[in-house]
Chain A
Amino acid sequence: DQQVKQNSPSLSVQEGRISILNCDYTNSMFDYFLWYKKYPAEGPTFLISISSIKDKNEDGRFTVFLNKSAKHLSLHIVPSQPGDSAVYFCAASATFFTNAGKSTFGDGTTLTVKP
């Protein structure tokens, strides 16, 4: 049972344009969502997060949107840069204040930003 899904395995955009990565989840108990970025031969790196009490969180070029009714979140990168080329993982947790709450990960979207 895959509770977090990233339906697009890959995405290619032109430098300077917007990249939109999507993520859907099925578990209504999830209340904390994160995006990670992963380069080859490295571990995932935390990028941005959002709590279920918000519908938007922005950090520089990165914005995460949450639509709880649709159980959908998206990551917007604007403007996209070649250095953004990586695998992006969406993750969700059912608890925030207890660290024992595990994060459930999607299977990733490979973003390629063309110069």
Chain B
Amino acid sequence: DTAVSQTPKYLVTQMGNDKSIKCEQNLGHDTMYWYKQDSKKFLKIMFSYNNKELIINETVPNRFSPKSPDKAHLNLHINSLELGDSAVYFCASSQEASWAGYTFGSGTRLTVV
């Protein structure tokens, strides 16, 4: 019973296309995140949503737009994909005032060709 699930696991697409990555958590957590892991292995935060409200929006191109229909879902839509968008994208969730850190999904490896 997966706690944080992301789909798809792999995504290969051409430059200029629009794609979406879906994320769902069944932990009842209040906050969800999108992190990007680039080729240098850094995990960088992109967005954070708390109860469907955008809390953190790091310096991310406008082509990236998160959508949270409810607090259990946080989807990431990317317009006009570029080669530099190739990375592994991780969704995560956490509960307020918890010592347990984030629960991550297994990641989506996006390859733009």
Chain A: minimal CB distance from B35 (Å): 8
Chain A: minimal CB distance from B52 (Å): 13
User: Is the CB–CB distance between A46 and B55 below 8 Å?
Assistant: no
Interface size on A, residues (CB 8 A): 23
User: Is the CB–CB distance between B41 and A100 below 8 Å?
Assistant: no
Which of B30, B96, B101 is the one whose CB lies under 8 Å from A34? B101
User: Is the CB–CB distance between B33 and A107 below 8 Å?
Assistant: no
The distance in angstroms between the C-alpha atoms of A34 and B56, with both chains bound, is 20
Contact with B along A64-102 (1 / 0, CB 8 A): 000000000000000000000001010100001111101
Output the nearest chain B residue to A32 by Cβ-Cβ distance: B99
Which of B43, B56, B103 is the one whose CB lies under 8 Å from A105? B43
Which of A43, A87, A97, A108 is the one whose CB lies under 8 Å from B4? A43
User: Is the CB–CB distance between A105 and B42 below 8 Å?
Assistant: yes
Contact segment of B13-21, B62-70, B76-84, B104-112: B104-112
User: Is the CB–CB distance between B94 and A99 below 8 Å?
Assistant: yes
- Asked whether any CB of chain B lies closer than 8 Å to the CB of A63, the reply is no
27 example contacts (A-B, Cβ-Cβ < 8 A) are as follows: A34-B101, A36-B104, A41-B106, A43-B90, A43-B107, A44-B102, A46-B103, A49-B101, A91-B43, A91-B101, A97-B96, A97-B97, A98-B96, A99-B30, A99-B50, A99-B94, A100-B48, A100-B50, A102-B48, A102-B56, A104-B45, A105-B35, A105-B42, A105-B44, A107-B40, A107-B41, A108-B41
Which chain A residues have a beta carbon within 8 Å of chain B's beta carbons?
A: 34, 36, 41-46, 49, 87, 89, 91, 96-100, 102-105, 107-108
